[in-house]
Amino acid sequence: MGRIGYFLLYLALIVVALFQILPLVWLFLFSLKDNNEIFAGSPFALPSEFRWENYEKVWNGGIGTYFFNSIWITVLAIILTVLFASMAAFALTRLKWKMSGLVLGLFMVGLMIPIHSALIPLYSMFLSVNLIDNPISIVITYTAYNLPITLMILLGFYYTLPHEIEEAAVIDGCSIHRMFFRIILPMTTPILATTVVINMIYNWNEFVFVNTFISSEKYKTLTVGIQNFIGQYMTDWGAIGATLVISVLPIIIAFIFFSNKVVEGISSSAVKG
Amino acid sequence: MGLNGMNKVMSNKFYIAFYIAPALLLLLILVFIPLVLSGYYGLMDWDGIGEKTFIGLENYINGIQDKLFWNSAFHSFLLAIFSTLSLVIYLTVSFILASKIKGADLLRKIYLIPMLLSSVAIAQLWVKIYNPSNGILNVFLMSIGVENPPLWLANPSIVLFAIFVPILWQYAGFYILIYYAALKNIPESLIEAARIDGASAFQIATRIKLPLIKEVVSVTIVLAIVGSLKYFDLIYVMTAGGPNGASEVMASYMYKLAFANYNFGYGSAIGFLLLVITLIVTFVIRKLTATKDKLEY
């Protein structure tokens, strides 16, 4: 491959990178401008004056509530999903029982389910137990629907753990619970981090369950909240831009610090489908 | 305690139940039972609040004859075809990226950024990009002299293409990541041997590398097609299926029936059809793309 060929290939890659990144640069720039500047000025010009008040306005306008709801719902669902999936991975790979193959099969089928097919029955089930407009319904739904993918990612790691570990533990008179919580679970930390990252992205970005099950403003998460919010600021582009930037910022920050884990998590989620 | 005692401990029924029950119960109650119920509710005339009236297969028969449903299914399948074709672009980029490019790691991470954002935020951003007078796209088109740039999301004949661009944007990094990893897994010795035999870069790519990552390619075809059949968030926010049903897909049609028209019985039947279609398509595509001769290297 000659120098020119190499240069052209490189150029193609840069063009793709620009296509991926420019819309976000534009978003960030207009989140700091007012309408006059957005509509009359050049799209990629720096703001003449950084209007951070756009951020202040939407944060005080109520987006803070959505933000904190997204955080606690995301975190709680991650803890439950990772704990339950780890316990299930332990039961499926270490404990000996006849039905384990069938149960594993159920989880694998669970990977393929389109959530929309379950939406109406879930709604009526939650309605009948008074969990509509209650964030508990969101937390347990996130947990249930992320279990299959989380379990699949964990299983690969559990299969590679040597059996000598639990043999030694049992011979030393260690109880099963102690073996799992004190020995095996800590050993899986690297893969747990991967599943945490992938669950964080899924939960933070989820829309349809919250949109269907939650109606009170005080329980809405960012994805649904920004919908109303943007309707309210229909013509104020700066405010809309600030809202969108706030909603994507935590994920971008997580990506900057844990990009390798994110890459690993997203690659291993490819088994989904 | 010997190995016998070990086996006894590891097959203790109480422990098994304790460790598998939380995950299994959640899966059964919140994933599988609703699917069965969806099929059952489909047999009812029901507004979601009042009494259910059993009406047999009427909803399913109506669904199969419903032009609006098939219209939305057609759009879902079009998106599936676009998504599959776009894999060629992703594959090409990955080949370039994997050919000893400096900064490949940074580039693939940049490509991945849109994949991390919520479909809602992506939809809102692209609504702005497509804004007829102030969106970046039409501002650009007008600046190079296009007098009447299209109304991207209001024109029924282009809206589906306009919606596909953010989908392309969102998933590019995901597929490139998968292909890149697969290509990097190919042992260097194989490529070196081909090069010594006088194979060109293009021949190495198409005759050696591509067959070696065939299984990964078939996985991505399944992901692209099945994923497309389930699209909802992005379209719901960008156009809500409009204008006049021109961007309606199966999931958005089902959602509209149930949560806008309160036709829960019929919505359930459509939801069940969505499930059946997805499972059939998944099965067929897996059969079609299954690699008969497993390559070992």
pLDDT tens profile B23-74: 999 999 999 999 999 999 999 988 878 888 899 898 999 989 999 999 999 9
Which residues numbered 93-122 in A keep a CB inside 8 Å of some CB on B?
Answer: 94-97, 103, 106-107, 110, 112-122
Q: Which of A158, A16, A235, A171 is nearest to B19 (CA)?
A: A158
Mean pLDDT of B152-171: 94
For an interface test with B, the pick among A108, A116, A172 (most B C-beta atoms closer than 10 Å) comes out as: A116
Backbone angles phi and psi of B54, in degrees to 5: -70, 125
Tell me if chain A has a CB within 8 Å of the CB of B107.
yes
Say yes or no: B125 contacts chain A, CB-CB below 8 A. Answer: yes
CB-based contacts of B238: which residues, under 8 Å, 6+ apart?
A: B123, B126, B127, B153, B163, B166, B247
Shortest Cα–Cα distance, B85 to chain A (Å) = 17
Residue A172 or residue A147, greater confidence:
A147
pLDDT tens-place string over residues B69-121: 999 999 999 999 999 999 999 999 999 998 878 888 899 999 999 999 999 99
What ipTM goes with this model?
Answer: 0.91
Query: Would the CB atoms of B35 and A106 count as touching at under 8 Å?
Result: no
Give the start-to-end residue ranges of the domains of chain B: 68-121+167-289
> What pTM did the predictor assign?
0.91
Residues A31, A37, A43, A49, CA torsion sign? negative
CA B276/CA A49 separation, integer angstroms: 55
- Section B256-268 average pLDDT: 92
Q: B109 to chain A: which residues are within 8 Å by CB?
A: 255, 259, 263
| Dist. CA B176–CA B94, nearest whole Å | 5
pLDDT (mean) for B119-129: 94
A257 lies within 8 A of chain B by CB: no
Per-residue model confidence (pLDDT) at position B297:
43
The class (CATH top level) of B68-121+167-289 is mainly alpha
- What is residue B242's three-state secondary structure? coil
Q: Is the pLDDT of residue A14 over 80?
A: yes
**Taking 50 as the threshold, does the pLDDT of residue A115 lie above it?**
yes
| Chain B from 164 to 223: CB within 8 A of any A CB | 169, 172-174, 177-178, 181, 201, 219-220, 222-223
Size of interface A-B (CB pairs under 8 A): 271
* β strands within B235-279, DSSP E: none
Q: Is the pLDDT of residue A273 over 50?
A: no
Predicted local distance difference test score (pLDDT) of residue A167: 83
Within 8 A of A139 by CB-CB distance, chain B residues are none
| Mean pLDDT, rounded, for B157-185 | 94
Closest among B242, B247, B271 to B259, alpha carbons compared: B271
Count of CB atoms situated within 10 Å of the CB of A227: 21
Position B2 scores a pLDDT of 58
Count of other CB atoms within 10 angstroms of residue B181: 18
Q: Which of A38-52, A252-266, B128-142, B256-270 has the lowest mean pLDDT?
A: A38-52
Q: Is the pLDDT assigned to residue B296 strictly greater than 50?
A: no
